[in-house]
Amino acid sequence: MGVVIESEVWENNQPLSIFIFVSCLLSIVCLPQNSSRSSTVFDQSLPSSLLRFQRKFLLVFCSASVMEGMWSVFGEYEMAYFGFNKDQMVSSLIISFASALFVGTFLGMLSDLIGRKKLSLLFCILHLFVAILKTIFSHPSIWLASVCLSLATSIFLFSFETWMVVEHDKLGHRLDSLNEMFWLMTFLESASLIGSQVFTNWFISNDFEKNMVSPSTFTALLSLISIIFIAQEWKESPPPATFKEYQISFKTHIFYDKRIWLLGWAQSCVYFSVAAFWILWAPTIVGDGREVNLGLIYPCLLGAKMLGSTMFPWFINGPLSIRTEDCLVYTFITSGVILSIVAYDYQEIGILVGLFCLFHASIGLILPSLARLRTFYVPNELRGGMITLSLAPANAAILFCLIQRGYNKSIENSTIIAFGGITLFSAAASMHFLKQSGKQSPHQNFHKH
């Protein structure tokens, strides 16, 4: 007599999604009534020129986030559909992080020298190029696509933030308004990534083979619209510094300032831990053999990140106001403990999902906090170069882990996650030392109040 083994299916807890959504809504709605802030991005008392820029910028930023999300949501599934095996997918990741390390590291400096508009346009052009390739050729070169999308991601990580900060300075911003933009960017990026998932599922839900090209067509259209909008709406003066002047200024303000090194290390630790998480979260979830709908967990993680970003105003200017460095110390320790528990290889899916959501809530608070510290410590004309240079150690570490895990099989997934937790603890230490150095030599705010 045959034995039938039924596979157990783990279903996502629907109340969790509702709780995250309601919490985000309450955090946003209640904050203006309990905060001493004088303005928000929705405040009509702000200068009309600043309001117009903020709303147009957020529209372009959401469009860029959707373009980024279309590949992150659909990429692995698309490669599996075209017959890529596991080794080929690992090769794609290695190509991507190698490109980010050896080319992307210098894109921030290039942006500071030639202007943020040109790099923002390049971001859209790279996505347009890859989308056209996928529309014309159903199976384009994995090397070419990986390099282009990796460089686009490198630009995304610094270009829009530097653009926003520089334009705020030109328009005469208030610092509280800039803080609003930092958390709104984190919030809307996560919301746009969820939107990318919705769009992708809608495009291919009915007839997969027929609609396989639709996400690429949509991305191409979105890229083209963004290029036209940026080119027409944004006027940029050429950067005043020459290469030699920029080099001298970079050495003075970045290389010779230990506070920038501490801040850059914290940024690198965050980037490594987040990248390691997104590479390994799916294998970790399905490690016990149960069937899981990962597509339902994905929006919960991003929703938790949105919730974390809405907590930023509460801790910075609201009734829970504390020093930014202190906030980051506690948050880094929390996120490090979470990854340490995950690295212990606990296989209960419900617990893992809860830990993953807490981790992303912490990241949602960390990202705008680090952006705020960059506003204090980094001059506008060096901001892009500082960001990309700080990501170089993380890209190198991820590349090393991918080679050792993907090809040599010399380390385990749990070891990589544990290393991510250790780096977050070191980031907490760097924020502690940054606070101590700030007491000895208070930071210079390069921006108007």
pLDDT tens digits, one per residue of 23-59? 777 777 676 444 444 445 555 556 677 788 888 899 9
Look at residue 123 in the predicted model and tell me its pLDDT.
Answer: 95
How does residue 349 score in pLDDT terms, banded at 50, 70 and 90? confident
Distance CA 317, CA 36 (A): 7
**pLDDT above 50 (res 448):** no
Q: Which of 84-88, 195-199, 376-380, 445-449 has the highest mean pLDDT?
A: 376-380
Q: Burial-class residue 55 by CB neighbours within 10 Å (0-12, 13-18, 19+).
A: exposed
Residue 74: how many CB atoms within 10 A of its CB? 22
Look at residue 34 in the predicted model and tell me its pLDDT.
Answer: 41
Look at residue 2 in the predicted model and tell me its pLDDT.
Answer: 42
Distance CA 350, CA 203 (A): 30
Helix (H) or strand (E) holding 12: none
Tell me 239's DSSP state: P
Question: Which has the minimum average pLDDT: 92-96, 184-188, 364-368?
Answer: 92-96
Look at residue 13 in the predicted model and tell me its pLDDT.
Answer: 65
Look at residue 146 in the predicted model and tell me its pLDDT.
Answer: 87
Domains annotated on the chain, with CATH? 46-239 (1.20.1250.20), 242-444 (1.20.1250.20)
Question: Which has the minimum average pLDDT: 80-94, 404-418, 434-448?
Answer: 434-448
Averaged pLDDT for residues 310-327: 82
How does residue 139 score in pLDDT terms, banded at 50, 70 and 90? low
* More confidently predicted of 88 and 61: 61
Q: Which of 76-85, 114-123, 209-218, 309-318 has the highest mean pLDDT?
A: 114-123
* In 105-174, alpha helices (H): 107-114, 116-136, 142-171
How does residue 291 score in pLDDT terms, banded at 50, 70 and 90? confident
Cβ-contact 64, 123 below 8 angstroms: yes
Averaged pLDDT for residues 296-323: 84
Look at residue 82 in the predicted model and tell me its pLDDT.
Answer: 66
CA distance readout (Å), 60 to 73, 228, 448: 20, 11, 25
- Token pair for residue 354? 């809860």
**pLDDT above 50 (res 142):** yes
Look at residue 8 in the predicted model and tell me its pLDDT.
Answer: 64
Distance CA 436, CA 205 (A): 54
Mean pLDDT of the chain: 82
E-assigned strand segments in 271-314: 291-292
Look at residue 3 in the predicted model and tell me its pLDDT.
Answer: 40
Averaged pLDDT for residues 214-221: 83
Question: Which has the minimum average pLDDT: 38-47, 91-100, 201-210?
Answer: 38-47
Look at residue 6 in the predicted model and tell me its pLDDT.
Answer: 45
Percent of the chain with pLDDT over 90: 40
* More confidently predicted of 58 and 242: 58
Look at residue 401 in the predicted model and tell me its pLDDT.
Answer: 93
How does residue 235 score in pLDDT terms, banded at 50, 70 and 90? confident
Look at residue 46 in the predicted model and tell me its pLDDT.
Answer: 62
Cβ-contact 379, 320 below 8 angstroms: no
Question: Which has the minimum average pLDDT: 66-80, 101-115, 336-350?
Answer: 66-80
